């Protein structure tokens, strides 16, 4: 991270931040700069950051509420994140090419990418950046490449490919576009009701319980589990590993800040999952966003981990991997299911997404359905 202070054309002080704010030390330096600027009106500009931590968000909220500072953001991901938390900011779009006249439909029409050229591009990405997308569903990846081209204002696949291979920040934007992070608290509430009714009572006989939430996105799924465990008085003996390939959603999950907008749906999910308190009791209200309670955070370890190539995690009694396999080719689904088998303890549970299953992947050799098959809850065969 690098900080600089200058005055804009209107004579307003501007604090610019280059790079991501990654460490506690960098956060402390940024806060000190902000404090030193408070004497006069100033604006703050994030040039490269895709995400910021909770301490900085709280400070941005304070600056906006009490100091009338404008927040300018150059990266779409951070802009969308701050916006959904109700922190007003301007998308400044510095240093990018224009893409007027293009839209997803026109791009769809113009580009007929072949499977071979996309595959060769994915191999280059794997070789250079270490992320293996070669066995993700090709149609979905193709569409995401086209969206990335559109956002970069690029009209030629070969030019785009060369640019991404040579410029890590362009890869970073494409990586973000590859990631579909849709999630919510108590998604598919009947599955959480089943966890509450038939899985947790069984796991309660263990003295220590390890749960892996693989592909946890911005954290709503592991926090939903933590709420269930808290209501069953089991939280203290549980360690939840919550992992995702995408480091930006992992930081969102660690922040534990969620928009108030749309909370009714999550409250309804919680009720349908047979939640026995008030959903909002688990949050502190801050402006337009809400902050998850600290007691739910302390037994969750969030970290970046890819199901393709980051190595195996072991000795879990329960693994949730919901709405992740659906984006992968069958060969990769099969490998991941075999890894989950190895990662589970004897008779451990595996939960997949409602539209996923093990049957097309020879998973029946490794797992069997627990209760009704439509809940996609399985048990390891011993
Ligand atoms: C649609 S979200 C599902 C979130 C949550 N499990 C749910 O069902 O609400 C899929 C998540 O899988 C993550 N993902 C995709 N490929 C992955 C991989 N190879 N390893 C780990 N996570 C991955 C994405 O980054 C994304 O956050």
Alpha carbon distance 257, 218 (integer Å): 9
- At the top level of CATH, the class of 189-380 is alpha beta
In degrees, rounded to 5, the angle at the alpha carbon of residue 117 between the alpha carbons of residues 114 and 118 is: 85
What average pLDDT score do residues 163-191 get? 95
pLDDT band at 358 (very low <50, low <70, confident <90, very high): confident
381: three-class secondary structure by DSSP? coil
**What is the 293 CA–ligand 1 centroid distance (Å)?**
23
pLDDT band at 162 (very low <50, low <70, confident <90, very high): very high
With 0-12 CB in 10 A as exposed, 13-18 as middle and 19+ as buried, what is 358? Answer: buried
Residue 375: which pLDDT band, with cuts at 50, 70 and 90?
A: confident
Domain positions in the chain are 2-91, 104-178, 189-380
Q: What is the CA radius of gyration of the chain?
A: 22
Residue in 351, 316, 378 with CA at minimum distance from that of residue 191: 351
Write out the H or E segment, with its range, that includes residue 124.
helix 115-129
**Residue whose entry in the numeric block shows the structure tokens 């969102």:** 252
307 in contact with ligand 1, CB cutoff 6 A: yes
How do residues 250-275 score in pLDDT, each as one tens digit? 999 999 999 999 999 999 999 999 99
**Does the pLDDT value for residue 161 go beyond 90?**
yes
pTM for the structure as a whole: 0.93
Distance 327 CA to ligand 1 centre (A): 9
Q: Is the CB of 324 under 6 A from ligand 1?
A: yes
Out of 210-214, 338-342, 361-365, which region has the weakest mean confidence (pLDDT)? 361-365
Task: Report how far residue 151's alpha carbon sits from residue 247's, in angstroms, rounded to the nearest whole number.
Answer: 21
The response to whether residue 323 sits with its C-beta less than 6 Å from ligand 1 reads yes
**Residue 99 pLDDT > 50, yes or no?**
no
Average pLDDT rounded to a whole number, residues 115-137? 96
- Give the per-residue pLDDT at 109: 47
* Mean pLDDT of the chain, nearest integer: 92
Owner of token pair 């291979």: 165
Residue range 174-179: average pLDDT? 94
Residue indicated by tokens 């999550």: 266
As a whole-number percent, the residues of the chain with pLDDT over 90 amount to 78
Mean pLDDT within 195-217: 97
The answer, yes or no, to whether any atom of ligand 1 lies below 6 A from the CB of 244, is: yes
């Amino acid at each position: 991270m690098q900080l600089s202070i200058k005055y804009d054309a209107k004579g307003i002080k501007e604090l610019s931040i280059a790079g991501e704010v990654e460490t506690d030390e960098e956060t402390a330096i940024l806060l000190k700069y902000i404090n030193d600027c408070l004497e006069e009106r100033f604006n703050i500009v994030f040039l490269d950051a895709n995400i910021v931590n909770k301490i900085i968000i709280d400070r941005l909220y304070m600056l906006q509420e009490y100091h009338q500072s404008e927040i300018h953001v150059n990266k779409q991901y951070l802009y969308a994140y701050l916006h959904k938390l109700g922190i007003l900011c301007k998308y400044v779009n510095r240093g990018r090419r224009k893409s007027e006249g293009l839209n997803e439909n026109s791009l769809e029409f113009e580009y007929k990418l072949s499977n071979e050229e996309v595959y060769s591009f994915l191999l280059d990405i794997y070789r250079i950046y270490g992320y293996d997308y070669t066995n993700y569903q090709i149609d979905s990846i193709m569409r995401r490449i086209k969206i990335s081209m559109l956002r970069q204002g690029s009209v030629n696949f070969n030019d785009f490919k060369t640019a991404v291979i040579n410029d890590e920040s362009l890869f970073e934007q494409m990586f973000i576009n590859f990631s579909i992070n849709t999630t919510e608290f108590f998604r598919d509430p009947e599955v959480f009701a089943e966890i509450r009714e038939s899985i947790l009572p069984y796991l309660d006989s263990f003295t220590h319980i390890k749960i892996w939430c693989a592909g946890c996105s911005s954290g709503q799924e592991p926090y939903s589990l933590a709420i269930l465990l808290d209501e069953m008085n089991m939280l203290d003996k549980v360690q939840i590993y919550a992992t995702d390939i995408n480091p930006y959603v992992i930081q969102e999950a660690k922040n534990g800040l969620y928009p108030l907008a749309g909370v009714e749906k999550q409250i309804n999910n919680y009720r349908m999952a047979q939640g026995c308190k008030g959903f909002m009791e688990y949050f502190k209200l801050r402006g337009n966003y809400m902050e998850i309670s600290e007691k739910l955070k302390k037994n969750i370890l969030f970290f970046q981990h890819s199901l393709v190539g980051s190595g195996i995690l072991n000795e879990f009694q329960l693994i949730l991997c919901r709405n992740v396999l659906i984006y992968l080719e069958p060969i990769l689904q099969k490998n991941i299911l075999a890894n989950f088998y190895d990662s589970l303890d004897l008779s451990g549970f595996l939960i997949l997404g409602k539209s996923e299953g093990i049957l097309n992947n020879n998973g029946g050799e490794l797992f069997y359905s627990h209760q009704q098959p439509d809940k996609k809850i399985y048990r390891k065969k011993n």
